Structure 1
Amino acid sequence: MTEELFLKDSYVREFEAIAVKSTEEGVVLDKTAFYPGGGGLENDVGKLIFEGKEYKVTEVKRKDGEIVHKVEEKVPEGAVIKGVIDWERRYAMMRLHTASHIISAIAFNKYNAMVTGGSITPEYAKDDFNVEDKSILAEIIREANEIAKKGIEVKVYFLPREEAMMIPGIVKLMGRNPPEVPVWRIVEIPGVDIQADGGPHVKNTKEIGEIQLLKVENRGKGRKRIYYTVKTKQT
């Protein structure tokens, strides 16, 4: 099983690994910092380097319990490679991902609204909420910006499933079943939000920059969709 470096450290940009399996479909590594997508986040892209040759990673996905890195040309099995993720793309999604947790927490705690769907790309994020009044969404974004500016350290840790299940609001996506795995990865923004989550996040809310509301769509009765981005570029 591949060691998932991003679970403990979202800031690993480069790493060394062994190609334990290589097929026409892609290469499986003994460890990886490439996020395979999930939870609404797109997968990472980047490159693998072996003996000075670069293999472009165009897609990363989970399949049959493995993380498969799709490359344009087959990587030799057993090769010791260097992996390099597209950091600018990843970091943009990390900032939006942490912003989305703040937004969903405000919606849940203040308006008893849950996320009914959503996705995050490097350019923008979108979330669907089960709310009637779309005016509250602009207020939620305003409040989220105030929280982000506070510079709150984002905590990532692991808890047994039974203990995690006792935390109110640990799963805020409507219709989503709690993970069946025995140990849950928890992402906590102290005083703001705590969720079971497997994706990359920034270490501090100040890294988010300014959250900008792009538009609000009516998706039917009791369902509104917001599009937002993070305005200020961070390094």
Structure 2
Amino acid sequence: MTEALFRQNAYLCDARGKVVSHAERGVVLDQALFYPTGGGQPGDRGRLSWDGGTMDVVNTLKSDGDDIALVPADGATLPPIGAEVKQTLDWDLRLRHMRMHTALHLLSVIIPLPVTGGQIGAEKSRLDFAMEDPPEDKQSLEDALNALIARDFEVTERWITDAELEANPGLVKTMSVQPPKGAGHVRLVRIGTADEQVDLQPCGGTHVRRTSEIGSVLLGKVEKKSRLNRRFNIHLASP
């Protein structure tokens, strides 16, 4: 099982690792700095380096069991099994994903409707809502979202048991993707504090520490995807 360093510290940019195997999907290390594609968040990119070589990581995917596979660029030389490597994250990309991910959680607060889908991207991210009628005032939604961001709420995590989640089904906002269960515990991401809680929902992705790190966002096109489904796109207003 690959140790998920990104869950211990989402701001970690480099780390050591040891090559465990060459899996079908990529190189598996004993511990991974890179977040694997999942929950609407893309896999991380970066580089591995070792004595005698380097390998560009163009994507990160889940592999067998709880292993994490680092996908090499086409034609890349793989580090030998057993080699000690340095992992270097494409931090700019990761940070944009973190800012976007936290912003989407806040978007689900100002639009308190069931979420039917979502996707995080560096340039554009989206949430789909079970919404029959178009919003009356898109600008007011953008203003409300940026007002929440500017309040500089703390973003924290805690873990609950599968049984606790089953006893509190209202924590799950997404209709299309259910939080991973079966390991006995589920990670919750909280925006705000226990006394002033803005959002609390199961999530395995990476987030910024405070909402002010998101910066201002722009609410883009609102698309009608079906009679009962509308897609809201957001963009980061600053790099």
Provide the TM-score with structure 2 as the length reference: 0.90
Secondary structure at 2:227's aligned position in 1? Answer: coil
Preserved contact between residue 104 and residue 115 of structure 1 (Cα < 8 Å): yes
Residues 227 and 175 (structure 1), Cα distance of their counterparts in 2 relative to 1, 3 Å cut: closer
Amino acid of the structure 2 residue aligned with 1:183 = H
Secondary structure at 2:148's aligned position in 1? Answer: helix
What CA RMSD, in Å, does the superposition of the two structures yield over aligned residues? 1.7
Deviations 1:33-90 (A, max 9, x none): 1000111111101000101522100121012212111112221000110001100011
Secondary structure at 2:49's aligned position in 1? Answer: strand
Preserved contact between residue 179 and residue 203 of structure 2 (Cα < 8 Å): no
1:176 matched to which residue of 2?
A: 177
Please give the alpha-carbon distance, in whole angstroms, between the structure 2 residues aligned to 1:203 and 1:178: 21
2:22 matched to which residue of 1?
A: 22
Preserved contact between residue 134 and residue 224 of structure 1 (Cα < 8 Å): no
Identical counterparts, % of pairs: 35
Preserved contact between residue 18 and residue 31 of structure 1 (Cα < 8 Å): yes
1:197 matched to which residue of 2?
A: 203
Preserved contact between residue 95 and residue 207 of structure 1 (Cα < 8 Å): yes
Residues 14 and 162 (structure 1), Cα distance of their counterparts in 2 relative to 1, 3 Å cut: same
Q: Does 1:73 align with 2:77?
A: yes
Q: Does 1:147 align with 2:148?
A: yes
2:163 matched to which residue of 1?
A: 162
Q: Does 1:83 align with 2:84?
A: no
Secondary structure at 1:41's aligned position in 2? Answer: coil
Please give the alpha-carbon distance, in whole angstroms, between the structure 1 residues aligned to 2:100 and 2:91: 14
The 5 A counterparts of 1:1-235 are: 1-23=1-23, 25-51=25-51, 53-65=53-65, 66-71=67-72, 72-108=76-112, 113-131=113-131, 132-135=133-136, 137-167=138-168, 169-181=170-182, 182-190=184-192, 191-233=197-239
5+ long unaligned stretches in structure 2: none
Which stretch shows the higher mean deviation, 30-39 or 132-141?
132-141
Please give the alpha-carbon distance, in whole angstroms, between the structure 2 residues aligned to 1:9 and 1:62: 19
Residues 218 and 138 (structure 1), Cα distance of their counterparts in 2 relative to 1, 3 Å cut: farther
Secondary structure at 2:111's aligned position in 1? Answer: helix
Q: Which 4+ stretches in 1 moved above 4 angstroms?
A: none
Please give the alpha-carbon distance, in whole angstroms, between the structure 1 residues aligned to 2:20 and 2:162: 31
Please give the alpha-carbon distance, in whole angstroms, between the structure 1 residues aligned to 2:110 and 2:12: 30
5+ long unaligned stretches in structure 1: none
Residue-pair matches, total: 229
